[in-house]
Amino acid sequence: MKNPIRITLLLLLLTGSAFVKAQVPLLSSYPSASAVVFLDFDGQTVENTSWNANGPIYCGASEVTNTQITEIFNRVSEDYRPFNLNITTDSTVYWAAPADTRVRVIMTVTSSWYGLAGGVSFVGSFTWGDNTPAFVFTELLKNNTKNIAEATSHEVGHSLGLYHQSSYDANCNKITDYNAGLGTGEIAWAPIMGVGYSKNFTLWNNGPNSFGCTNLQSDLDLITTGNGFSYRTDDYSSSLASAYPVTFQNNQFDINGIIERNTDQDMFQFTLPSFGEFKLNAIPFNVGSGDAGSNIDLQISLYDYSKTLLKVYNPGTLLRSIIDTVLGTGDYYLTIEGKGNIYAPNYASLGSYSLNGTFAANSPLALRKLELQGSIKNEKHELNWTIDADENVTSQILEISTDGIQFSPLTQPDNTARYYNYFPLSSGNIQYRLNVTFDNGRQYYSNIVTLKSNENILRPRLAGNLITSSIVTVNSPGNFNYMIIDLNGKTVNKGLLSNGTNTINLAGVSSGMYMIRFADPAHQWTDKLLIQ
């Protein structure tokens, strides 16, 4: 007996126009899997299915290009990468699959028989065994590859038994049938079973479905327990004791892997023959810049020979991770896993990735330690560092980044300095590293330290309260008025601050305690000044 809830349909209201028809490349994401999703781009006549109450449905071809078909295939394949399921564009693969573990998704310009919708599917139809297809209406989706892929994965999800991931307020009132997710940029997240057209990072979810705020729908559990397939077999051990040995060829290695479950960790072991610089690029599968189409936010953990954790790498606003460090001779271990971020939960950060590691040997500098440490005190970022080396420091630059990738100079302390503190001018997570050059010409980077700046307090800050010269230095995040007042209420100086570092000349002002007041149209703040 067919599932009686199959009449529940998905409506995604969009309009658009057609592109040029393309030949269909024959692609398969996991040929060894018996369960199949067939992406049908070249037109189809639908007969004798649950859609045919009014006779045959004649579906025109999708009219998307070969390049678009490949991108759509890659995006949908990555959504389903953790599962023992083959996404294919080859009809012979579909017909060879068991009838009760397959579904055809017809990509078509023909939509008038149904109405204005991005796609439609019967819930649970994957296991019906009667070739009832799902539909994605490409012309109404403006032939946009991102939107077509999102609608396809969504409709396949319905065929696998999933309902919508919905949004509710604190009183359990439904806000929308489609959870639209959170955030902006590369890590902006939405559920696949919500609506993710405007979000880059669309994932399976464990949240309330369309039948009520207490009806939690675990997408992963439903997909893998009721459709005749489960997860793929784990490709790498999750134990450091059984870590996969990596071999350098011409001082580099390349590895591809998949994080199949939210409990999965892939472990690798490598050996460095000498002291030198080790770099690792961990890149999630993607179809373009900004890791478009990725389904995993990668986190890397680096361990030494004794399996002691050295550092965790996970830039907050990016899906990829990068190691760039100096290591000594010996064995090291890597742990690769998927994590959530400020928008996405940990639940389904799953998918495929590639690792590219490189090693460049350096002659022993006897650089025993180059370590940066940081803390926050009274909203100041305080940074201190240790340099233990035989050579003398000829330059040290403290560098800053807001994405963990692109660093720029913050300050160049004296070569003997080992401490710096200031009020940051930007909000959110800020990364720091130390760039050190020694008198033998060699240059090294320290570890990266991440500190969080208070997002709610962006105001001018004194570089220091104790003024031993006639110059007051103020770091400002924008344009603010300032006024310096003595303890009798007399104004001794005033003016306008601009974005960046500002200097105020107090030549001729007597020693003593003063107040400096900063203001914008809506706020004002007061700090103390001691002029010596």
**pLDDT in the model for residue 456:** 57
**pLDDT in the model for residue 515:** 87
pLDDT tens for each residue of 231-275: 999 999 999 999 999 999 999 999 999 999 999 999 999 999 988
Considering the segment(s) 240-361 as one domain, its CATH architecture is Sandwich (2.60)
What is the pLDDT confidence band of residue 365, given thresholds at 50, 70 and 90?
Answer: low
**pLDDT in the model for residue 529:** 86
CATH 3.40.390, domain 4-225, yes or no = yes
Whether pLDDT at 3 is above 90: no
What are the sequence ranges of the domains in the chain?
4-225, 240-361, 369-453, 461-531
In the chain, what percentage of residues exceed pLDDT 70? 94
pTM above 0.85?
Answer: no
Residue 137: its H or E element = strand 134-137
Say yes or no: do domains 369-453 and 461-531 share a fold: yes
Lowest mean pLDDT among 84-93, 110-119, 202-211: 110-119
First to last CA, the chain: 89
Lowest mean pLDDT among 2-11, 189-198, 296-305, 520-529: 2-11
**pLDDT in the model for residue 134:** 98
Q: Are 321 and 299 in contact (CB under 8 A)?
A: yes
Q: Are 480 and 520 in contact (CB under 8 A)?
A: yes
pLDDT tens for each residue of 44-75: 999 999 999 899 999 999 999 999 999 999 99
**pLDDT in the model for residue 465:** 78
Q: What string of DSSP letters covers 227-248?
A: SS--BPPPSS-S-GGGPEEP--
Q: What does the pLDDT average to over 319-330?
A: 90
**pLDDT in the model for residue 364:** 55
Whether pLDDT at 2 is above 70: no
Nearest to 291 by CA among 147, 192, 185, 191: 185
Surface-to-core class of residue 123, CB atoms within 10 Å of its CB (0-12 exposed, 13-18 middle, 19+ buried): buried
Residue 511's region, left for phi above 0, alpha for psi from -120 to 50, else beta, is beta
**pLDDT in the model for residue 455:** 52
Q: Which residues contact 97 (CB under 8 A, 6 or more apart)?
A: 34, 35, 36, 86
Lookup result for tokens 């959110």: 428
What is the pLDDT confidence band of residue 145, given thresholds at 50, 70 and 90?
Answer: very high
What is the pLDDT confidence band of residue 6, given thresholds at 50, 70 and 90?
Answer: very low
**pLDDT in the model for residue 531:** 85
Top-confidence residue, 380 or 394 = 394
How distant, in Å, are the alpha carbons of 5, 78, 238, 354 from that of 71?
32, 11, 31, 18
Surface-to-core class of residue 359, CB atoms within 10 Å of its CB (0-12 exposed, 13-18 middle, 19+ buried): buried
pLDDT tens for each residue of 383-396: 999 999 888 899 99
CATH top class, domain 369-453: mainly beta
Write phi, then psi, for 246 (nearest 5 degrees).
-105, 135
Considering the segment(s) 461-531 as one domain, its CATH architecture is Sandwich (2.60)
